[in-house]
Amino acid sequence: MKILVLGLGLIGASIAKALKKNTNHYVLGWNRTKSVTEKALADGAIDETGKLDELLSQADITFINFYPDAIVPFVIENRDKFKKGSIVTDSCGIKSKICRTLEKENFDFSYIGAHPMAGREVSGYDASLATLFDNASFICTPTNAKKSETDTLVELAKEMGFKRTVVTTPEHHDEMIAFTSQIAHVLACSYVLSPLAPYHPGFSAGSYRDVSRVARINGEMWSELFISNKEPLIKEIDDLVLNLERFKEAIKEEDGKGLIELMSKANKIKEEIG
Amino acid sequence: MKILVLGLGLIGASIAKALKKNTNHYVLGWNRTKSVTEKALADGAIDETGKLDELLSQADITFINFYPDAIVPFVIENRDKFKKGSIVTDSCGIKSKICRTLEKENFDFSYIGAHPMAGREVSGYDASLATLFDNASFICTPTNAKKSETDTLVELAKEMGFKRTVVTTPEHHDEMIAFTSQIAHVLACSYVLSPLAPYHPGFSAGSYRDVSRVARINGEMWSELFISNKEPLIKEIDDLVLNLERFKEAIKEEDGKGLIELMSKANKIKEEIG
C-alpha cells in the first residue's frame, strides 16, 4: 500500500519511521514546514514527498497528525482530494468530537479515528523514534466504517509494531483517556505549580521525578485536547479532588486506620492490575 | 569506625550494603526477625551481628531504620546503652517530631536525624540494593549536635555514594518532603482510586505508569509519616486542590488562553529546574 503521513512531528514522524522499519509499505510524507519534510526524506523516514493534492489522491491510507482542532476542517476542505475507497485516520488524543462530526458526512473514503498511545515529554521531528510504539496500544474508533476497513487499519498497526490493538467507541475512548492520560497531565502540572516546586533539588527523588514528568507539556496542543473532552475530564478532576479530600480529612483527624484503608485500596489496584 | 545498622528492610539493608561496597568501615547489623539478620550475614551485607545491647555499646554510628513512631521510644528506652560520644541517626521520612523531641534529652551520645532520599515501590530485605543511594540526596537535620559530629555523618554519606548532601532544619525538611514525596504519594493513590483505574489496560501509556507508580505503597508506614507531618502535608493538599480547581474552571469555561498559561508555568519549572 501507499501510506501517507501528514504532519511529521513526534507522532507523525514516529509513525513514518515505524512503517519504514517494520513494514514494506511505500511511505509518502508531508509537513507544513518544508525543511522538516526534507529532513525526513534525507533520513529515509519517508520514501517520497510532493504536492499535497497529489499525495492525497494516491494514498491508500492517510494518517493525519495535526493539532486536534485542525483535523475536521482539513478533512472537510480536502474531501474531494482523498483517494476514493481509501482509509483516512488521525492520531489525535480525543475522538468523539472528531469522529461524530465526520461520520455525518458522505465521503468517498472511510474515516476511522485512531489514537496511537505513546508519547514523550519532548516534541517535534527530532524527538521521533521508529520504536516509539513498540510497547504501545493502538486504539481505533470506527463509527460507520466497514469491518474490513477497520481490519486493514488494525492489521497495519500490528505490522507497525504496536503491542496491543483496541477497537472501541469514540465515547469510551474519551472517557478512558480522560483518566489514563489527560488527568495525569493536569495533576502533574497542578503538582509542580506548588510554590515549593522551584526548591525541590536536594529534597527530591523518584516520586517527584515520576509524578511531575508529564508537566513538561505542550500547552497549545493540550488545551485543545482538554477543552474537546470537557465532561469526562471534569468528572476525573472531581473524582481526584474527592479522593484528595478523603486523604486530607483522615490526616486532619489523625485517622491512621482510614489512611491505611485508602492506601490498601490503591496498592491493591497497582499490585493486581499495574 | 564500627557502624551499626538496625532494621534490615529496604532502606536499612541498602545502607548496610552501600557501607560494605563503598567504605572500609566495619558493619554491625541487627533485625527484629532473626532470619533476615542471618540472610544479611550470609550475603555479606553485614560483617557481624549479636545481642542488641552489645551492638549498641560498640557502635560509633548507629543507623535506626524503624517505622516512624517506633524511633523515639527506642532511643529513650535504650539511652544508656548507646556508646558514649557516638552518633545515633535514623532514616525516617519526617524529622521535626523526632528531632525536636530528642533534642530535649540529655544524652551521652549525639542524635542527628537524617533522611536518605531514595526508595523503591517494593520493600523488605530482598528489595535492598548496594546502589540505591548512588544518585540520591542525603539530608540531615542536626539540632544540638556539634558541627564536627554533623561533618562526620555527612562525610560518611559521601563515602557511601550519596550524590548530594543537605544540612537543614527539621522544619524545612518536613515542609519540602511534604511536597517532594508525601503529596506525590497521596496524589498517586488518589489517582488510582478513580473508578476507571481497573480498566486502564489497553488505554494507558507512560503518563499513567509514571504518575501512578508510587501508589504501590506500604500504608502502615506512610500513614505514620502523613500523620506526623500533618500541617505541611495538608497545606500541600490544599495547594494541589486549588490548582486542580483552576484547571477545572478553565476547562469548564473553555478558556484556552488560561489553560495555556497554567501549562506554560508548569512547563517552565520542569524545563528550568527539572
B residues 126..155 contacting A (CB < 8 A): 136-137, 139
- What is the mean pLDDT of the segment spanning B148-167? 98
* Banded pLDDT at A3 (limits 50, 70, 90): very high
* Banded pLDDT at B33 (limits 50, 70, 90): very high
Q: pLDDT value at position A152?
A: 98
Residue A18 has pLDDT above 90, yes or no: yes
Q: Closest residue of A to B274, CA-based?
A: A209
Q: Inter-chain contact A269–B192, Cβ cutoff 8 Å?
A: yes
- What is the mean pLDDT of the segment spanning B156-162? 97
Residue A121 has pLDDT above 90, yes or no: no
- What is the mean pLDDT of the segment spanning A117-126? 91
Residue B122 has pLDDT above 90, yes or no: no
Residue B174 has pLDDT above 90, yes or no: yes
Q: Inter-chain contact A215–B254, Cβ cutoff 8 Å?
A: no
- What is the mean pLDDT of the segment spanning A228-237? 98
Say if residues A57 and A81 touch (Cβ distance below 8 Å): yes
Q: pLDDT value at position B121?
A: 80
A108-127 burial code (b ≥16 CB/10 A, e <16): ebbbbbbbbbbbbbebebeb
What's the pTM value of the predicted model, to 2 decimals?
0.93
Q: Quote the distance between the C-alpha of residue A90 and its chain's center.
A: 9
Q: pLDDT value at position A189?
A: 98
Q: pLDDT value at position A252?
A: 98
Region of residue A244 (phi > 0: left; psi between -120 and 50: alpha; otherwise: beta): alpha
Q: pLDDT value at position B89?
A: 98
A117 to A73, A95, B226: CA distances (angstroms): 24, 13, 35
- What is the mean pLDDT of the segment spanning B94-102? 98
Q: Closest residue of B to A172, CA-based?
A: B203
Reported ipTM: the value is 0.93
Residue A268 has pLDDT above 90, yes or no: yes
Interface residue of A135, A182, A191 to substitute, partner B, most B CBs within 10 Å = A191
Outline where DSSP puts E strands in A21-178.
26-30, 61-64, 87-90, 110-117, 137-142, 164-167
Q: pLDDT value at position B147?
A: 97
- What is the mean pLDDT of the segment spanning A57-71? 97
* Banded pLDDT at A122 (limits 50, 70, 90): confident
pLDDT in tens, B229-241: 999 999 999 999 9
Q: Inter-chain contact A227–B251, Cβ cutoff 8 Å?
A: yes
Average pLDDT, chain A: 97
The residue length of chain A stands at 274
A197 to B60, B149, B152, B247: CA distances (angstroms): 37, 31, 30, 18
Q: Inter-chain contact B198–A246, Cβ cutoff 8 Å?
A: no
Query: Shortest CB distance from B210 goes to which of A166, A210, A230?
Result: A210
- What is the mean pLDDT of the segment spanning A90-100? 97
Distant-in-sequence, close-in-space partners of B29: CB < 8 Å, separation ≥ 6: B4, B5, B8, B12, B16, B37, B40, B41, B45, B46, B47, B48, B49
- Other beta carbons within 10 Å of B155: 11
> How many CB pairs below 8 Å do chains A and B form together?
318
Residue A132 has pLDDT above 90, yes or no: yes
Going by C-alpha positions, the residue among A40, A51, A46, A52 that lies closest to residue A28 is A46
* Banded pLDDT at B15 (limits 50, 70, 90): very high
Question: Which residues of chain A does B244 touch, with a Cβ-Cβ cutoff of 8 Å?
Answer: 186-187, 190, 237, 240-241, 244
> What HEC string does chain B produce?
CEEEEECCCHHHHHHHHHHHHHCCCEEEEECCCHHHHHHHHHHCCCCECCCHHHHHHHCCEEEECCCHHHHHHHHHHCCCCCCCCCEEEECCCCCHHHHHHHCCCCCCCEEEEEEEECCCCCCCHHHCCCCCCCCCEEEEEECCCCHHHHHHHHHHHHHHCCCEEEECCHHHHHHHHHHHHHHHHHHHHHHHCCCCHHHCCCCCCHHHHHHHHHHCCCHHHHHHHHHHCHHHHHHHHHHHHHHHHHHHHHHHCCCHHHHHHHHHHHHHHHHHCC
Q: Inter-chain contact A137–B203, Cβ cutoff 8 Å?
A: yes
Give the dihedral of Cα atoms A31, A34, A35, A41; nearest 10 deg. Answer: 60
Residue B4 has pLDDT above 90, yes or no: yes
Whole-angstrom Cα distance, residue A43 to residue B108?
A: 70
Residue A261 has pLDDT above 90, yes or no: yes
- What is the mean pLDDT of the segment spanning B181-210? 97
Question: Which residues of chain B does A248 touch, with a Cβ-Cβ cutoff of 8 Å?
Answer: 234, 237-238
Give the dihedral of Cα atoms B204, B209, B215, B217; nearest 10 deg. Answer: 130
